[in-house]
């Protein structure tokens, strides 16, 4: 399955997918399962930290001054961005809870994420948000 993911990533020219797949293949071939278990346990948290650092880098480089951050709170689009950010963080929290409570749902979310990345040129940061959205509508599927 990992090889299929690597091929989908290469064919769709999405380096994020094929590098992740190849990295997991390397970890799978490792003499012990410890690095793979560590990745399973901490990979998401480390990935979110790195993603957040990437988003905050312009602030650290002072390309976005503090006054611009304050101005964001004065514009309609800035306030909408804040509201959407709050909602997405809420969905991510619900998603993490759903994935913990029902780990079998991960398969469907992974397939959807792979298709979204490989075919629609998406970015694979959506499984938590997808799980959060699913948790909002899960009562309809029971």
For residue 142, what pLDDT is reported? 64
For residue 36, what pLDDT is reported? 93
Contact 1, 20 (CB under 8 A): no
Distance, in Å, from the CA atom of 86 to the CA atom of 136, rounded to the nearest integer, reads 15
For the whole model, what pTM was predicted? Answer: 0.65
For the segment 58-110, what is each residue's pLDDT rounded down to a tens digit? 989 989 888 888 888 888 988 998 898 899 888 888 887 787 777 777 777 77
Q: Which residues contact 108 (CB under 8 A, 6 or more apart)?
A: none
For the segment 4-34, what is each residue's pLDDT rounded down to a tens digit? 888 877 887 778 778 989 999 999 999 999 9
């Amino acid at each position: 399955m990992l090889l299929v993911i690597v091929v989908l990533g290469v064919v769709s020219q999405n380096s994020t997918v094929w590098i992740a797949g190849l990295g997991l293949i390397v970890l799978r071939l490792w003499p012990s399962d410890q690095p793979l278990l560590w990745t399973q346990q901490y990979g998401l948290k480390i990935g979110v930290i790195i993603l957040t650092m990437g988003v905050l880098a312009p602030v650290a480089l002072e390309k976005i001054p503090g006054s611009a951050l304050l101005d964001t709170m004065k514009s309609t689009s800035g306030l909408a961005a804040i509201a959407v950010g709050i909602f997405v963080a809420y969905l991510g929290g619900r998603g993490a809870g759903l994935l913990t409570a029902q780990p079998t749902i991960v398969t469907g979310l992974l397939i959807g994420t792979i298709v979204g990345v490989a075919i629609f040129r998406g970015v694979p940061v959506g499984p938590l948000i997808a799980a959060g959205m699913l948790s909002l509508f899960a009562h309809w599927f029971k």
